C-alpha cells in the first residue's frame, strides 16, 4: 500500500465531504448539491463504501485527496499533508524526493524554519526580543497563536536543514537564505505567513530598532502566491463561518491586534487590494464582508480598488471608518471599541459619498452633480437590478435627489456607453458587423439611406465586399457564394447576444454608429484625393473645399 493509499484508507469521505456540503442519505450512498458547480438537483454522490465523493454532472471530485485538492484549490502534497495529519500518519521528508515532488520539500523546509525561529525567540539570550514584542502590546498568547519567532543564528538553521537531507541548492532555492549558511531574515522578528491549511509558505522579517516599514518578505514561490494569501485565514476561518462575516484589514499588525481583541474573524491582505482570488476563498465561508484598511491615501485607494473587485460578487459589503486613527492597531491601542465601530460601518455608497465629499461640496448643486457623475461610473458596472435599486434609493436619500431622475439619468448613461462600446469594437471588422445587422434586422434600406458614398467608394474599406455582396444578393435574389455564411452566422449570434436586453431604438443607434464610421473613412479618402490633386490657390479648390465642409457637417466629422 502506498502512503497516499494508507492515508486515504484512514479518512472517512462522508465526514470529510460533510464539512462542505449538506447531504441526504440515498440508499447506501449520500447525495448533495455539487460544491463545484451550481445546480438545483443533486448530482453529487458520496459513497462510503468506495470512499469517493464525485459529481456525475461536472465530473469533479474523487477520493479524499482529490476531493480536498479541488475543494481547497491546493496541490497534491498540501492535501496529503492535511490528511496525513488527520489520519495520524507520519510523512517522512524524503517521501517527496522519491516522488520527485518539489513543493513537498519546500513545505518541509518552511516548517523546519518556523519551528527553529520559534525556539530562538524563547531562548534566554534573545529575551530582549521577546520583551520587545511584549512591550509593543503583543501578548504571549498572541505570539504563540501566530507563531512569531526570531532569527538569531544565521548558520544553525542551514545546518539543521542539511542534516534533514536537503541539498544545499534546494535550501538556497527555498528563499529563506541568501547564500550558504546566510539566513535572509537574520536579526529580525519573524512573522510566519501560513496558507489556508495553516502551513507556513513565507515569512515576513521585521527589524526591531525601527519597527514600521523596515520589513522583508519571502519571494513568490511554488507555494507562495501573494495575491491569494489572506494573513491569519487558517486561524480565522472557523469564526468566519460561525459568525457569518469576515473583516479585512491590512496585513500583519492589524490582524494580530484584532485577534488579540478577541475579534477572530479578521484576516489581512497585503501589497494589493482584495483580489478575485481572495474573494473566491472568502465566499466559501460567508457572504458578509467588512473592509477596514488604513485611512491614509494608499489605504483609501486600496479600498476603492477592493470595492471595484467586489462588484457583482453577491456579497454584503461594509466599510469601517475608524475615527481619529490610522489603522485598527492604533485604534485598539488607544482604547477604541472596535465592535461599536462595526455597527456604524458604511455601505459602499455611503463610503464613496463620504470620500467624494472631501473634494466636492455636498450641500451645493454643483457638488451633488459632480458626486453623481462619479457614482454613475461605479453603478454602470452593477448588473443586478435589485442592487441598482437599493443603491439609487440610498444615493437619493443622502444627496436629497429624486430617485426617478437618477434612474432615467443612469439609463441614459448606460445606453450611451453601450453605443460608445461599438466604436471600440474589435472582435470583428466593423463592415462584417454591419452586414450582420443588415441581415438580422433587415436594415438594408437604412444602410443605403445613411451611407453617403457609392459602393465602389466603399471598396477601399477592409471587408466591405461583405456589404456589397449582401446588397447585390438581395437585388438578384440569389446567393452568389462570395460570402462566408458560417462566419456571418457567428457574427449574427454575437450581435444577438450583445443586444439581447436592448430596445430596437438603441440597436438602430448602434447600427448608425457603425455606418458613421464607414462614412468617416470614405470622407478621409475623398479629402486626401482632393487636396493632393488640385492647386490649393485655385478657385476650383475653394469650391471643392466648401463642398467637403458641407459633407463633413452632414455626416458629422470634423473638418476645417
Ligand atoms: Zn458538479
Q: What is the pTM of this model?
A: 0.65
Residues, beta carbon < 5 Å, ion ligand 1: 34, 36-37, 55, 57-58
Using alpha carbons, select from 87, 41, 103, 31 the residue that is nearest to residue 61: 31
- Establish if 560 belongs to a structural domain: no
- Cell numbers describing residue 123: 531562548
- CA–CA–CA angle 547, 553, 556 (5° rounding): 135
Which residues lie below 8 Å from residue 388, measured CB to CB, with a gap of 6+? Answer: 379, 382, 410
Spatial CA neighbour of 483 closest among 475, 471, 493, 494: 471
Distance from residue 67's CA to the centre of ligand 1 (Å): 12
Q: How far is the CA of 70 from the centre of ligand 1 (A)?
A: 11
- How many structural domains are present in the chain? 5
**Distances from the Cα of 490 to the Cαs of 4, 424, 430, 487, 496, in angstroms?**
48, 19, 14, 5, 10
Host domain of residue 520? 425-555
Is residue 222 domain-resident?
Answer: no
CA of 277 to the centre of ligand 1 (A): 20
In the chain, what's the furthest Cα-to-Cα distance?
A: 100
User: Strand 29-32 to strand 44-47: parallel, antiparallel, or no bridges (unpaired)?
Assistant: antiparallel
Which residues are within 8 A (CB) of 397 and not within 5 positions of it... i.e. 6 or more apart?
none
Name the grid cell of 32: 448533495
The sign one gets for the Cα dihedral 235, 241, 243, 245 is positive
Grid cell digits, residue 410 = 443612469
| pLDDT tens over the chain, length 560 residues | 677 888 898 899 999 999 888 888 888 889 999 888 888 888 898 988 878 898 888 888 889 999 998 888 787 888 888 898 888 887 765 444 444 555 557 888 999 999 999 999 999 999 999 999 999 899 999 999 999 999 998 889 999 998 888 888 888 888 899 888 889 999 999 999 998 878 899 999 988 776 555 778 888 887 888 888 999 999 998 888 888 899 999 989 999 999 999 999 999 998 679 998 899 888 878 899 999 998 888 899 999 999 999 988 889 999 999 887 788 999 999 999 999 999 999 999 999 999 999 999 999 999 999 999 999 988 888 878 888 999 999 999 999 999 999 999 988 887 777 767 666 655 567 888 899 999 889 999 999 999 999 988 888 888 888 899 899 888 887 776 777 776 777 778 778 777 878 889 999 999 999 999 899 989 988 888 887 788 888 888 888 888 888 888 888 888 77
- Asked whether residue 391 falls in the same domain as residue 334, the answer is no
Residue for grid cell 539543521: 160
Q: Would you list the DSSP string of 462-495?
A: TTTHHHHHHHHHHHHSS--S-S-HHHHHHHHHHH
* Contact (CB, 8 A) for 280 and 233: no
Instruction: Answer yes or no: do 403 and 430 share one domain.
Output: no
- Asked whether 434 and 440 are in contact (CB, 8 A), the reply is no
Determine the pLDDT at residue 413. 85
Could you tell me which residues are beta bridge partners of residue 182?
179
Q: How far is the CA of 46 from the centre of ligand 1 (A)?
A: 12
Residues 150, 183 contacting (CB under 8 angstroms): no
Q: How far is the CA of 43 from the centre of ligand 1 (A)?
A: 7
- Do 405 and 496 lie in one domain? The reply is no
For the chain, state the CA radius of gyration: 32
DSSP-assigned states of every residue in 73-116:
T--HHHHHHHHHHHHTPPPPTHHHHHHT-HHHHHHHHHHHHHHH
Same domain, 529 and 470: yes
Alpha-carbon distances, residue 70 vs 52, 235, 276 (angstroms): 13, 21, 18
Residue 165 lies in a domain: yes
- Report H helices in 357-477: 365-379, 385-399, 403-424, 430-441, 444-450, 455-458, 465-476
Ligand 1 midpoint to CA 334 (Å): 50
DSSP, collapsed to helix, strand or coil, labels residue 186 as coil
Give 40 Cα–ligand 1 centroid separation in angstroms. Answer: 11
Distance separating alpha carbons of residues 390 and 251, to the nearest angstrom = 32
The number of C-alpha atoms within 13 Å of 200 and in the hemisphere containing its C-beta is 28
Shared domain for 413 and 430, answered yes or no, is no
Q: Residue 496 domain-assigned?
A: yes
113 lies in some domain: yes
Say if residues 319 and 348 touch (Cβ distance below 8 Å). yes
Residues 112 and 87 in one domain: no
Q: Same structural domain for residues 86 and 153?
A: no
Last residue of a domain, one of 346, 365, 381: 346
How far away, in angstroms, is 286 Cα from ligand 1 center? 21
Structure-block grid coordinates of residue 250: 491590512
Q: How many angstroms separate the CA atoms of 195 and 201, rounded? A: 6
pLDDT of residue 51: 86
Q: Are residues 305 and 242 in the same domain?
A: yes
Domain containing residue 158: CATH number: 3.90.980.10
| Ligand 1 midpoint to CA 76 (Å) | 20
126, three cell numbers: 534573545
Centre of ligand 1 to C-alpha 36, Å, is 5
3-state DSSP helix/strand/coil percent for the chain, to nearest 5? Answer: 55, 10, 35
CATH of the domain at 69: 3.90.580.10
Amino acid at each position: 500500500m502506498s502512503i497516499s493509499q494508507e492515508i486515504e484508507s484512514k479518512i472517512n469521505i462522508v465526514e470529510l465531504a460533510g464539512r462542505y456540503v449538506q447531504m441526504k442519505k440515498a440508499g447506501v450512498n449520500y447525495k448533495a448539491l455539487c460544491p463545484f458547480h451550481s445546480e438545483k438537483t443533486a448530482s453529487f454522490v458520496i459513497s462510503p463504501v468506495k470512499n469517493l465523493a464525485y459529481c456525475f454532472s461536472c465530473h469533479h471530485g474523487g477520493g479524499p485527496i482529490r476531493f480536498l485538492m479541488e475543494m481547497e484549490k491546493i496541490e497534491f502534497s498540501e492535501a496529503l499533508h492535511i490528511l496525513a495529519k488527520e489520519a495520524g500518519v507520519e510523512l517522512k521528508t524524503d517521501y517527496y524526493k522519491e516522488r520527485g515532488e518539489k513543493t513537498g520539500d519546500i513545505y518541509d523546509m518552511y516548517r523546519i524554519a518556523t519551528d527553529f525561529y520559534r525556539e530562538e525567540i524563547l531562548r534566554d539570550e534573545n529575551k530582549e526580543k521577546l520583551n520587545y514584542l511584549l512591550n509593543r502590546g503583543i501578548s504571549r498568547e498572541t505570539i504563540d497563536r501566530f507563531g512569531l519567532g526570531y532569527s538569531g543564528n544565521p548558520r544553525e538553521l542551514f545546518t539543521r536543514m542539511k542534516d534533514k537531507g536537503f541539498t544545499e541548492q534546494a535550501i538556497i532555492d527555498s528563499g529563506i537564505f541568501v547564500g550558504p549558511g546566510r539566513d535572509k531574515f537574520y536579526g529580525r522578528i519573524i512573522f510566519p505567513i501560513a496558507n489556508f491549511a495553516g502551513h507556513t509558505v513565507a515569512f515576513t522579517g521585521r527589524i526591531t530598532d525601527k519597527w514600521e516599514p523596515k520589513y522583508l518578505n519571502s519571494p513568490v514561490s511554488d507555494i507562495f502566491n501573494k495575491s491569494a494569501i489572506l494573513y491569519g485565514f487558517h486561524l480565522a476561518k472557523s469564526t468566519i463561518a460561525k459568525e457569518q462575516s469576515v473583516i479585512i484589514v491590512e496585513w500583519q499588525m492589524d490582524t494580530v491586534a484584532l485577534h488579540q481583541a478577541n475579534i477572530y474573524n479578521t484576516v489581512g491582505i497585503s501589497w494589493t487590494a482584495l483580489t478575485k482570488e481572495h474573494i473566491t476563498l472568502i465566499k466559501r465561508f460567508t457572504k458578509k464582508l467588512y473592509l477596514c484598511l488604513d485611512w491614509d491615501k494608499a489605504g483609501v485607494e486600496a479600498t476603492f480598488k477592493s470595492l471595484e473587485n467586489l462588484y457583482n460578487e453577491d456579497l454584503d459589503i461594509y466599510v469601517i471608518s475608524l475615527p481619529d486613527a490610522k489603522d485598527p492597531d492604533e485604534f485598539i491601542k488607544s482604547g477604541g471599541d472596535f465592535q461599536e465601530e462595526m455597527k456604524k460601518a458604511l455601505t459602499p455608497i455611503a463610503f464613496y459619498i463620504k470620500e467624494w465629499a472631501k473634494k466636492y461640496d455636498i450641500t451645493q448643486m454643483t457638488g451633488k452633480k459632480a458626486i453623481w457623475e462619479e457614482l454613475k461610473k461605479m453603478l454602470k458596472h452593477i448588473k443586478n437590478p435589485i442592487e441598482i435599486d437599493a443603491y439609487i434609493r440610498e444615493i437619493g436619500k443622502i444627496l436629497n435627489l429624486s430617485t426617478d431622475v437618477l434612474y432615467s439619468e443612469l439609463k441614459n448613461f448606460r445606453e450611451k456607453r453601450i453605443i460608445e462600446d461599438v466604436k471600440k469594437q474589435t472582435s470583428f471588422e466593423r463592415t462584417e458587423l454591419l452586414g450582420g445587422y443588415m441581415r438580422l434586422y433587415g436594415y438594408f434600406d437604412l444602410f443605403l439611406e445613411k451611407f453617403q458614398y457609392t459602393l465602389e467608394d466603399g471598396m477601399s474599406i477592409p471587408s466591405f465586399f461583405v456589404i456589397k455582396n449582401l446588397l447585390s444578393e438581395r437585388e438578384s435574389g440569389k446567393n452568389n457564394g462570395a460570402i462566408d455564411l458560417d462566419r456571418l452566422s457567428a457574427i449574427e449570434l454575437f450581435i444577438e447576444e450583445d443586444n439581447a436586453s436592448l430596445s430596437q431604438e438603441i440597436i438602430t443607434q448602434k447600427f448608425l454608429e457603425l455606418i458613421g464610421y464607414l462614412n468617416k473613412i470614405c470622407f478621409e479618402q475623398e479629402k486626401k484625393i482632393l487636396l493632393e490633386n488640385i492647386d490649393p490657390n485655385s478657385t476650383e479648390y475653394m469650391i471643392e473645399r466648401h463642398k467637403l465642409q458641407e459633407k463633413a457637417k452632414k455626416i458629422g466629422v470634423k473638418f476645417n
